[in-house]
Structure 1
Protein backbone atom coordinates (compact mmCIF):
# COMPACT_ATOMS: atom_id res chain seq x y z
CA UNK A 1 0.00 0.00 0.00
CA UNK A 2 1.42 3.40 -0.98
CA UNK A 3 1.78 5.99 1.76
CA UNK A 4 2.17 8.85 -0.70
CA UNK A 5 5.42 10.00 0.89
CA UNK A 6 8.04 11.55 -1.39
CA UNK A 7 11.71 11.20 -0.57
CA UNK A 8 14.18 13.69 -2.02
CA UNK A 9 17.78 12.59 -2.49
CA UNK A 10 20.45 15.24 -2.87
CA UNK A 11 23.66 14.22 -4.64
CA UNK A 12 26.61 16.42 -3.74
CA UNK A 13 29.42 16.84 -6.24
CA UNK A 14 32.72 18.65 -5.77
CA UNK A 15 33.57 21.94 -7.44
CA UNK A 16 34.71 20.95 -10.98
CA UNK A 17 36.35 24.27 -11.81
CA UNK A 18 39.83 23.05 -10.79
CA UNK A 19 39.66 20.34 -13.46
CA UNK A 20 38.33 22.74 -16.08
CA UNK A 21 41.02 25.29 -15.32
CA UNK A 22 43.88 22.79 -15.45
CA UNK A 23 42.52 21.58 -18.80
CA UNK A 24 42.58 25.16 -20.07
CA UNK A 25 46.03 25.73 -18.56
CA UNK A 26 47.57 22.69 -20.23
CA UNK A 27 46.24 23.27 -23.72
CA UNK A 28 47.11 26.96 -23.75
CA UNK A 29 50.61 26.24 -22.43
CA UNK A 30 51.35 23.76 -25.21
CA UNK A 31 49.61 25.83 -27.90
CA UNK A 32 51.43 29.02 -26.87
CA UNK A 33 54.79 27.25 -27.23
CA UNK A 34 53.96 26.73 -30.91
CA UNK A 35 52.79 30.32 -31.45
CA UNK A 36 55.90 31.68 -29.75
CA UNK A 37 58.11 29.58 -32.04
CA UNK A 38 59.56 27.51 -29.19
CA UNK A 39 58.06 24.38 -30.77
CA UNK A 40 56.81 23.66 -34.29
CA UNK A 41 53.67 22.13 -35.80
CA UNK A 42 50.42 21.08 -34.14
CA UNK A 43 50.82 17.28 -34.15
CA UNK A 44 51.61 17.13 -30.44
CA UNK A 45 49.32 20.05 -29.61
CA UNK A 46 46.34 17.99 -30.79
CA UNK A 47 46.21 15.45 -27.91
CA UNK A 48 46.24 18.26 -25.34
CA UNK A 49 43.61 20.19 -27.28
CA UNK A 50 41.30 17.16 -27.38
CA UNK A 51 41.86 15.56 -23.96
CA UNK A 52 42.59 18.64 -21.81
CA UNK A 53 41.19 21.61 -23.69
CA UNK A 54 38.06 19.80 -24.81
CA UNK A 55 37.24 16.73 -22.69
CA UNK A 56 38.44 18.04 -19.29
CA UNK A 57 36.47 21.27 -19.75
CA UNK A 58 33.42 19.34 -20.96
CA UNK A 59 33.47 17.21 -17.79
CA UNK A 60 33.77 20.39 -15.71
CA UNK A 61 30.83 21.87 -17.61
CA UNK A 62 28.59 18.86 -16.93
CA UNK A 63 29.30 18.96 -13.20
CA UNK A 64 28.91 22.74 -13.05
CA UNK A 65 25.41 22.25 -14.49
CA UNK A 66 24.78 19.88 -11.56
CA UNK A 67 25.88 22.75 -9.29
CA UNK A 68 23.32 24.97 -11.06
CA UNK A 69 26.25 27.22 -11.99
CA UNK A 70 25.09 28.36 -15.41
CA UNK A 71 27.99 30.80 -15.91
CA UNK A 72 30.71 28.24 -15.17
CA UNK A 73 28.91 25.42 -16.98
CA UNK A 74 28.29 27.45 -20.13
CA UNK A 75 31.85 28.79 -20.14
CA UNK A 76 33.55 25.42 -19.73
CA UNK A 77 31.13 23.76 -22.16
CA UNK A 78 31.53 26.41 -24.84
CA UNK A 79 35.32 26.37 -24.65
CA UNK A 80 35.37 22.58 -24.63
CA UNK A 81 33.50 22.67 -27.93
CA UNK A 82 35.86 25.42 -29.11
CA UNK A 83 38.84 23.08 -28.69
CA UNK A 84 36.98 20.23 -30.37
CA UNK A 85 36.41 22.61 -33.29
CA UNK A 86 40.00 23.86 -33.39
CA UNK A 87 41.38 20.32 -33.11
CA UNK A 88 39.16 19.12 -35.94
CA UNK A 89 40.22 22.10 -38.07
CA UNK A 90 43.86 21.15 -37.55
CA UNK A 91 43.07 17.56 -38.54
CA UNK A 92 41.43 18.79 -41.74
CA UNK A 93 44.43 21.00 -42.53
CA UNK A 94 46.80 18.07 -41.92
CA UNK A 95 44.84 15.98 -44.45
CA UNK A 96 43.53 13.41 -41.97
CA UNK A 97 40.10 13.55 -43.63
CA UNK A 98 41.56 13.42 -47.12
CA UNK A 99 43.49 15.74 -49.45
CA UNK A 100 40.35 17.03 -51.19
CA UNK A 101 38.94 18.48 -47.96
CA UNK A 102 42.32 19.89 -46.98
CA UNK A 103 42.71 21.56 -50.36
CA UNK A 104 39.41 23.44 -50.03
CA UNK A 105 39.99 24.66 -46.45
CA UNK A 106 39.70 28.44 -46.18
CA UNK A 107 41.48 29.74 -43.02
CA UNK A 108 39.41 32.93 -43.14
CA UNK A 109 36.39 30.91 -42.04
CA UNK A 110 38.25 30.25 -38.78
CA UNK A 111 38.61 34.01 -38.36
CA UNK A 112 34.82 34.33 -38.34
CA UNK A 113 34.60 31.50 -35.80
CA UNK A 114 37.03 33.41 -33.57
CA UNK A 115 34.94 36.57 -33.96
CA UNK A 116 31.83 34.64 -32.94
CA UNK A 117 33.54 33.32 -29.85
CA UNK A 118 34.84 36.81 -29.06
CA UNK A 119 31.29 38.18 -29.06
CA UNK A 120 30.19 35.36 -26.76
CA UNK A 121 33.26 35.77 -24.54
CA UNK A 122 32.57 39.48 -24.00
CA UNK A 123 29.23 38.59 -22.40
CA UNK A 124 30.95 36.01 -20.19
CA UNK A 125 33.56 38.58 -19.15
CA UNK A 126 30.83 40.82 -17.73
CA UNK A 127 29.53 37.86 -15.70
CA UNK A 128 32.98 36.97 -14.40
CA UNK A 129 33.37 40.44 -12.92
CA UNK A 130 31.26 39.09 -10.06
CA UNK A 131 33.23 35.86 -9.47
CA UNK A 132 36.84 36.70 -8.66
CA UNK A 133 39.67 38.68 -10.19
CA UNK A 134 41.70 35.66 -11.36
CA UNK A 135 38.80 34.30 -13.44
CA UNK A 136 37.94 37.78 -14.69
CA UNK A 137 41.56 38.32 -15.79
CA UNK A 138 41.55 34.99 -17.63
CA UNK A 139 38.42 36.03 -19.53
CA UNK A 140 39.88 39.43 -20.46
CA UNK A 141 42.97 37.69 -21.84
CA UNK A 142 40.76 35.23 -23.73
CA UNK A 143 39.00 38.23 -25.31
CA UNK A 144 42.39 39.61 -26.41
CA UNK A 145 43.47 36.17 -27.66
CA UNK A 146 40.33 35.67 -29.75
CA UNK A 147 40.55 39.16 -31.26
CA UNK A 148 44.19 38.67 -32.21
CA UNK A 149 43.55 35.15 -33.55
CA UNK A 150 40.79 36.53 -35.77
CA UNK A 151 43.06 39.28 -37.12
CA UNK A 152 46.03 36.95 -37.59
CA UNK A 153 43.97 34.21 -39.24
CA UNK A 154 42.29 36.65 -41.62
CA UNK A 155 45.31 38.74 -42.61
CA UNK A 156 48.46 36.97 -41.28
CA UNK A 157 49.27 39.93 -39.06
CA UNK A 158 52.58 39.38 -37.23
CA UNK A 159 51.79 41.78 -34.37
CA UNK A 160 48.43 40.13 -33.71
CA UNK A 161 50.11 36.72 -33.79
CA UNK A 162 52.66 37.81 -31.18
CA UNK A 163 50.03 39.32 -28.88
CA UNK A 164 47.93 36.16 -29.22
CA UNK A 165 50.92 34.00 -28.28
CA UNK A 166 51.77 35.94 -25.13
CA UNK A 167 48.10 36.24 -24.14
CA UNK A 168 47.76 32.48 -24.42
CA UNK A 169 50.82 31.90 -22.25
CA UNK A 170 49.56 34.25 -19.53
CA UNK A 171 46.12 32.56 -19.69
CA UNK A 172 47.89 29.28 -19.00
CA UNK A 173 49.79 30.61 -15.99
CA UNK A 174 46.70 32.26 -14.48
CA UNK A 175 44.66 29.10 -15.07
CA UNK A 176 47.26 26.96 -13.29
CA UNK A 177 47.11 29.41 -10.38
CA UNK A 178 43.30 29.43 -10.38
CA UNK A 179 43.14 25.64 -10.44
CA UNK A 180 45.65 25.39 -7.61
CA UNK A 181 43.70 27.96 -5.60
CA UNK A 182 40.44 26.02 -5.91
CA UNK A 183 42.08 22.77 -4.79
CA UNK A 184 44.20 24.13 -1.95
CA UNK A 185 41.66 26.62 -0.59
CA UNK A 186 39.09 23.83 -0.38
CA UNK A 187 41.58 21.31 0.97
CA UNK A 188 42.81 23.56 3.77
CA UNK A 189 39.43 25.16 4.44
CA UNK A 190 40.87 28.67 4.25
CA UNK A 191 42.27 31.15 1.75
CA UNK A 192 45.64 29.58 0.98
CA UNK A 193 45.96 31.21 -2.46
CA UNK A 194 43.98 34.47 -2.83
CA UNK A 195 41.99 34.96 -6.02
CA UNK A 196 40.67 38.49 -5.45
CA UNK A 197 37.19 39.60 -4.51
CA UNK A 198 34.43 40.30 -7.05
CA UNK A 199 34.20 43.86 -8.32
CA UNK A 200 30.75 44.28 -6.75
CA UNK A 201 29.44 46.48 -9.56
CA UNK A 202 26.41 44.43 -10.57
CA UNK A 203 25.73 42.56 -7.31
Structure 2
Protein backbone atom coordinates (compact mmCIF):
# COMPACT_ATOMS: atom_id res chain seq x y z
CA UNK A 1 0.00 0.00 0.00
CA UNK A 2 1.17 3.49 -0.76
CA UNK A 3 0.54 6.33 1.63
CA UNK A 4 -1.68 9.13 0.39
CA UNK A 5 0.19 12.39 -0.17
CA UNK A 6 -0.84 15.07 2.32
CA UNK A 7 -0.66 18.79 1.84
CA UNK A 8 1.80 20.77 3.92
CA UNK A 9 -0.27 22.84 6.41
CA UNK A 10 2.58 25.28 7.13
CA UNK A 11 1.92 27.63 4.18
CA UNK A 12 -1.70 28.03 5.31
CA UNK A 13 -0.70 28.82 8.88
CA UNK A 14 2.10 31.15 7.83
CA UNK A 15 -0.13 32.95 5.32
CA UNK A 16 -2.94 33.42 7.84
CA UNK A 17 -0.45 34.73 10.36
CA UNK A 18 1.28 36.99 7.82
CA UNK A 19 -1.81 38.65 6.36
CA UNK A 20 -3.43 39.30 9.73
CA UNK A 21 -0.15 40.55 11.20
CA UNK A 22 0.42 42.84 8.22
CA UNK A 23 -2.99 44.48 8.52
CA UNK A 24 -2.81 44.96 12.31
CA UNK A 25 0.80 46.14 12.11
CA UNK A 26 -0.18 48.82 9.59
CA UNK A 27 -2.41 50.30 12.31
CA UNK A 28 0.18 49.75 15.07
CA UNK A 29 2.76 51.60 12.95
CA UNK A 30 0.36 54.53 12.64
CA UNK A 31 0.21 54.25 8.85
CA UNK A 32 -3.59 53.99 9.06
CA UNK A 33 -5.62 55.46 11.90
CA UNK A 34 -9.26 54.67 11.11
CA UNK A 35 -11.10 51.49 10.23
CA UNK A 36 -9.04 49.17 12.44
CA UNK A 37 -12.12 46.98 12.93
CA UNK A 38 -11.17 45.37 9.62
CA UNK A 39 -8.62 43.35 11.60
CA UNK A 40 -11.32 41.57 13.63
CA UNK A 41 -12.59 39.29 10.88
CA UNK A 42 -9.05 38.39 9.92
CA UNK A 43 -8.16 37.71 13.56
CA UNK A 44 -11.14 35.41 14.00
CA UNK A 45 -10.86 33.45 10.79
CA UNK A 46 -7.59 33.73 8.89
CA UNK A 47 -5.20 34.56 11.69
CA UNK A 48 -7.13 32.49 14.22
CA UNK A 49 -9.12 29.64 12.73
CA UNK A 50 -6.75 28.92 9.83
CA UNK A 51 -3.77 28.72 12.19
CA UNK A 52 -5.64 26.52 14.64
CA UNK A 53 -6.44 24.17 11.75
CA UNK A 54 -2.82 24.28 10.54
CA UNK A 55 -1.70 23.46 14.08
CA UNK A 56 -4.01 20.45 14.30
CA UNK A 57 -2.76 19.21 10.92
CA UNK A 58 0.85 19.67 12.04
CA UNK A 59 0.03 17.64 15.17
CA UNK A 60 -1.49 14.92 13.02
CA UNK A 61 1.68 14.92 10.90
CA UNK A 62 3.90 14.63 13.97
CA UNK A 63 5.45 18.11 13.78
CA UNK A 64 5.58 19.30 17.38
CA UNK A 65 7.09 22.70 16.54
CA UNK A 66 4.46 23.44 13.88
CA UNK A 67 1.67 22.24 16.15
CA UNK A 68 2.74 24.37 19.12
CA UNK A 69 3.48 27.46 17.02
CA UNK A 70 0.37 27.49 14.84
CA UNK A 71 -2.02 26.50 17.62
CA UNK A 72 -0.58 29.09 20.02
CA UNK A 73 -0.66 31.96 17.52
CA UNK A 74 -4.10 30.88 16.31
CA UNK A 75 -5.25 31.08 19.93
CA UNK A 76 -3.56 34.50 20.21
CA UNK A 77 -5.62 35.82 17.30
CA UNK A 78 -8.82 34.39 18.77
CA UNK A 79 -7.93 36.11 22.08
CA UNK A 80 -7.32 39.36 20.20
CA UNK A 81 -10.65 39.06 18.40
CA UNK A 82 -12.64 38.38 21.59
CA UNK A 83 -10.73 41.02 23.57
CA UNK A 84 -11.36 43.67 20.90
CA UNK A 85 -15.07 42.80 21.04
CA UNK A 86 -15.02 43.43 24.79
CA UNK A 87 -16.01 39.85 25.66
CA UNK A 88 -13.66 39.79 28.65
CA UNK A 89 -14.80 43.08 30.14
CA UNK A 90 -12.58 45.98 31.10
CA UNK A 91 -9.11 45.43 29.64
CA UNK A 92 -6.33 47.95 30.34
CA UNK A 93 -3.37 48.89 28.14
CA UNK A 94 -1.12 47.53 30.88
CA UNK A 95 -2.97 44.20 30.85
CA UNK A 96 -2.60 43.96 27.08
CA UNK A 97 1.07 44.91 27.44
CA UNK A 98 1.62 42.08 29.90
CA UNK A 99 0.00 39.57 27.52
CA UNK A 100 2.14 40.84 24.63
CA UNK A 101 5.33 40.52 26.70
CA UNK A 102 4.30 36.98 27.71
CA UNK A 103 3.87 36.12 24.02
CA UNK A 104 7.27 37.72 23.41
CA UNK A 105 8.84 35.37 25.97
CA UNK A 106 7.09 32.37 24.38
CA UNK A 107 8.23 33.49 20.92
CA UNK A 108 11.81 34.03 22.07
CA UNK A 109 11.90 30.43 23.32
CA UNK A 110 10.34 29.18 20.07
CA UNK A 111 12.95 31.21 18.15
CA UNK A 112 15.68 29.09 19.77
CA UNK A 113 13.99 26.05 18.21
CA UNK A 114 14.44 27.59 14.73
CA UNK A 115 18.23 27.68 14.90
CA UNK A 116 18.50 24.42 12.94
CA UNK A 117 15.45 24.78 10.68
CA UNK A 118 15.76 27.35 7.88
CA UNK A 119 16.51 31.03 7.52
CA UNK A 120 12.85 31.85 6.75
CA UNK A 121 11.56 30.53 10.09
CA UNK A 122 14.57 31.87 11.95
CA UNK A 123 13.95 35.39 10.60
CA UNK A 124 10.18 35.24 11.14
CA UNK A 125 10.52 34.25 14.80
CA UNK A 126 13.39 36.70 15.41
CA UNK A 127 11.30 39.60 14.12
CA UNK A 128 8.19 38.34 15.92
CA UNK A 129 9.68 38.26 19.41
CA UNK A 130 11.05 41.75 18.85
CA UNK A 131 7.59 42.86 17.67
CA UNK A 132 5.90 41.45 20.77
CA UNK A 133 8.38 43.09 23.14
CA UNK A 134 8.12 46.49 21.42
CA UNK A 135 4.32 46.37 21.43
CA UNK A 136 4.20 45.01 24.98
CA UNK A 137 6.54 47.56 26.49
CA UNK A 138 4.87 50.29 24.44
CA UNK A 139 1.47 49.27 25.82
CA UNK A 140 2.72 48.96 29.40
CA UNK A 141 4.31 52.40 29.32
CA UNK A 142 1.77 54.04 26.97
CA UNK A 143 4.71 54.89 24.67
CA UNK A 144 3.36 55.49 21.16
CA UNK A 145 6.85 55.53 19.66
CA UNK A 146 7.49 51.94 20.84
CA UNK A 147 4.07 50.82 19.58
CA UNK A 148 4.83 52.36 16.18
CA UNK A 149 8.25 50.65 16.14
CA UNK A 150 6.47 47.39 16.97
CA UNK A 151 4.10 48.02 14.09
CA UNK A 152 6.93 48.52 11.61
CA UNK A 153 8.72 45.44 12.93
CA UNK A 154 5.43 43.55 12.63
CA UNK A 155 5.24 44.52 8.94
CA UNK A 156 8.71 43.03 8.43
CA UNK A 157 7.61 39.95 10.38
CA UNK A 158 4.61 39.52 8.09
CA UNK A 159 6.81 39.78 4.98
CA UNK A 160 9.20 37.14 6.36
CA UNK A 161 6.33 34.80 7.27
CA UNK A 162 4.66 35.23 3.89
CA UNK A 163 7.90 34.50 2.08
CA UNK A 164 8.51 31.43 4.24
CA UNK A 165 5.04 30.03 3.56
CA UNK A 166 4.45 31.01 -0.04
CA UNK A 167 7.88 30.02 -1.33
CA UNK A 168 6.93 26.47 -0.27
CA UNK A 169 3.74 26.61 -2.35
CA UNK A 170 5.52 27.96 -5.42
CA UNK A 171 8.42 25.51 -5.08
CA UNK A 172 6.05 22.54 -4.77
CA UNK A 173 4.09 23.64 -7.84
CA UNK A 174 7.36 23.85 -9.80
CA UNK A 175 8.73 20.58 -8.35
CA UNK A 176 11.67 22.49 -6.88
CA UNK A 177 13.24 22.76 -3.44
CA UNK A 178 12.04 25.83 -1.52
CA UNK A 179 14.82 28.46 -1.30
CA UNK A 180 14.55 29.08 2.43
CA UNK A 181 18.25 29.29 3.27
CA UNK A 182 20.07 27.70 6.16
CA UNK A 183 19.46 28.73 9.75
CA UNK A 184 22.56 29.74 11.74
CA UNK A 185 23.16 26.32 13.32
CA UNK A 186 22.00 24.07 10.47
**TM exceeds 0.5?**
yes
Q: Does 1:37 find its partner at 2:30?
A: yes
Q: Does 1:105 find its partner at 2:91?
A: yes
Q: What is the DSSP-based 3-state SS (H/G/I as helix, E as strand, rest coil) of the residue aligned with 2:132? A: helix
Partner of 2:65: 71
Give the drift of 1:151: 0.8
- 2:31 and 2:128 mapped to 1: Cα distance? 21
- 1:137 and 1:19 mapped to 2: Cα distance? 18
Q: Does 1:52 find its partner at 2:46?
A: yes
Give the drift of 1:79: 0.4
Q: Is the 8 A contact 2:101 2:137 kept in 1?
A: no
- 1:111 and 1:33 mapped to 2: Cα distance? 18
Q: Does 1:135 find its partner at 2:121?
A: yes
Partner of 1:189: 175
In structure 1, list runs of 5 or more residues that go unmatched. Answer: 1-7
Q: Does 1:163 find its partner at 2:149?
A: yes
Q: Is the 8 A contact 1:34 1:41 kept in 2?
A: no
Q: Does 1:124 find its partner at 2:110?
A: yes
TM-score (norm 2): 0.91
Q: Deviations over 1:139-198 (max 9, x none)?
A: 01111111011111111112211210111111111122112211011222213x511113
Structure 1: which 4+ aligned runs deviate by more than 3 Å?
A: 8-12
- 2:99 and 2:170 mapped to 1: Cα distance? 36
Give the drift of 1:9: 9.2
TM-score (norm 1): 0.84
Partner of 2:8: 15
Q: Deviations over 1:112-161 (max 9, x none)?
A: 11122112111110101111111110101111111011111111112211
Q: What is the DSSP-based 3-state SS (H/G/I as helix, E as strand, rest coil) of the residue aligned with 1:198? A: coil
Q: Is the 8 A contact 1:42 1:90 kept in 2?
A: no
